[in-house]
Amino acid sequence: MNDFKLVIRNLLGSRSRFALTLVGITLGITSLVVMMSLGTGLRAQIDKQAADLGANLVVTPKGWCAYEQVKVLSGSQLPDAIPAEELTAIESVEGISVLPYLTVGSAVDNEPVPVTGIRVAETAETKRWAVASGEAPAEDSRGILAGSAIADSFDLAPGDHLTLRGTEFVVTGVLEATGTGDDGVLFIPLAVAQEVYETDGRISFAAVQVEDITQVELYAQRIADAANVAVVSDRQLLASVLSVVNTVSTTLRIIAAVAVLTAAFGIINTMLMATFERRREIGIMKSIGSSNARIFRTFMAEAAAYGVIGGVVGLVVGSVASRLITPYIAQNEFTAFVGGARVQAVPPLGDMALILGGAVVVATLAGVYPAMRAARLTPVEAISYE
């Protein structure tokens, strides 16, 4: 017999108690993992999205808030709000190249799908798109270049016909997966989009590349002078989007913390029950020579073991769960990012270690009070009653 074996025996002594406590801890850790990986996935995806925007500056209508700026990155539908003459004015600024976007919506098989009007050739080049099958549509044709994910989900292949806004389109090409929001979008030529959606030449926003990257601020000023629009740098955009995301992931973390606290109280409860149920056993252990300190250590080790086992199981279950859950949560503007981040939905190794360490610390702390109660019992009290 050794201390380790004794702890294992005590844990397994009451299997249902062991199992129930473990389920509680596992649930807590699982939700922590899911929440954290969503948060991490969200952020990683936004970084990638911003990089793939291929722009140094983003031109938006005046007065957009962070929520609308998020939509620039996620590719969802935006109000069409920069008039044609402003776009012309922007394009007249020296030293920049402009990629206008018109984000609109449509439905395929009664499901809403994002549709974006672009200058096909220029955008494809800037974003370094690769066409997986077929080819990009000509600028004035009613052709569709489908993102890989949306092509998958609607089973689209070159030659297929789709009706957008009552107008017949042909899928001319399907893109290779990019891992960004672009995967979920149907791209059509900008001019055609403006005509079919009757936007009167308006666009939603424009991505701008500058010739001299060191002069970004200067170009921004020039654009703002030339046209009645708001200009943000990609970095500002990223910052404001991240601030929104941070609130979201802080909320996620608070929820997870509550789950973990609940699990901790589960441990306290279990351990207190164990102290009570095992009064007699504690008395026997003391009567055959266990010191108070040793009883304390035995109970603490049991609590810590709950943390270790629950932590490991929770990490595994949580990682699997967050992979399974992510697609279902990826429905609104913020979490939409995660949709593209299929690969990302597991917390990084450092976070995992942190979670495991945290689980052990919380479980051990939860064991302190019950273990003290157990240690304080005198052998006579423990044995002579009931």
Partner 1 sequence: MSSPGVMTLRDVHKTYNGRGVPVEALRGVDLEIGAGSFTCLIGPSGHGKSTLLHLLGGLDRPTAGSVTVLGEQVGRMTDVELARFRATRVGFVFQFFNLLKGLTVAENVELAMMYAGTPVRQQKTRVHDLLEAVGLAEKRRARANELSGGQMQRVAIARALANNPDVLLLDEPTGNLDSASEAEVMAILDDLHAQGRTIVMVTHSSEIAARAERIVEVRDGRIAS
Ligand X SMILES: Nc1ncnc2c1ncn2[C@@H]1O[C@H](COP(=O)(O)OP(=O)(O)OP(=O)(O)O)[C@@H](O)[C@H]1O
353 or 380: CB nearest ligand X: 380
**Six token digits for residue 298:** 């035995």
Helices (H), strands (E): how many in the chain?
A: 14, 10
287 in contact with ligand X (CB under 6 A): no
107 or 380: CB nearest partner 1: 380
246 or 384: CB nearest ligand X: 384
Q: Give the burial class of 243: count Cβ atoms within 10 A of its Cβ; 0-12 exposed, 13-18 middle, 19 or more buried.
A: exposed
Minimum CB distance to partner 1, residue 378 (Å): 6
Residue ranges of the alpha helices (H) in 330-348? 336-340
Minimum CB distance to partner 1, residue 287 (Å): 5
Minimum CB distance to ligand X, residue 374 (Å): 17
Minimum CB distance to ligand X, residue 371 (Å): 22
The residue ranges that bind partner 1 (CB under 8 A) are: 1-3, 5-6, 9-10, 12-13, 280-281, 284-294, 378-380, 383-384
187 or 299: CB nearest partner 1: 299
176 or 381: CB nearest ligand X: 381
Location of structure tokens 């601030």:
243
Provide the sign of the torsion angle of the four alpha carbons 150, 153, 159, 162, taken in this order: negative
Taking each helix axis as running N to C, give the angle between helix 234-277 and helix 292-329, from 0 to 180 degrees, rounded to the nearest 10. 140
In the region spanning residues 327 to 386, those forming contacts with ligand X, defined by CB under 6 A, are 380-381, 384
Rounded Cα–Cα distance for residues 311 and 313 (Å): 6
Among ligand X, partner 1, none, the one that 176 touches (CB under a kind-dependent 5 to 8 A) is none
Among partner 1, ligand X, none, the one that 12 touches (CB under a kind-dependent 5 to 8 A) is partner 1
Among partner 1, ligand X, none, the one that 5 touches (CB under a kind-dependent 5 to 8 A) is partner 1
Rounded to 5 degrees, φ, ψ at 116 are -130, 130
328 or 385: CB nearest ligand X: 385
Among partner 1, ligand X, none, the one that 201 touches (CB under a kind-dependent 5 to 8 A) is none
Rounded to 5 degrees, φ, ψ at 189 are -60, 140
Among partner 1, ligand X, none, the one that 10 touches (CB under a kind-dependent 5 to 8 A) is partner 1
Minimum CB distance to ligand X, residue 292 (Å): 17
Minimum CB distance to partner 1, residue 298 (Å): 11
Minimum CB distance to partner 1, residue 380 (Å): 5
Q: How many CA atoms lie within 13 A of 360 on its CB side?
A: 10
List own/partner pairs for 330-336 with CB under 8 A and 24 or more apart.
Answer: 333/67, 333/70, 333/71, 333/74, 333/76, 334/42, 334/70, 334/244, 334/245, 334/248, 335/38, 335/42, 335/248, 336/74, 336/76, 336/181
Binding interface with ligand X (CB under 6 A): 380-381, 384
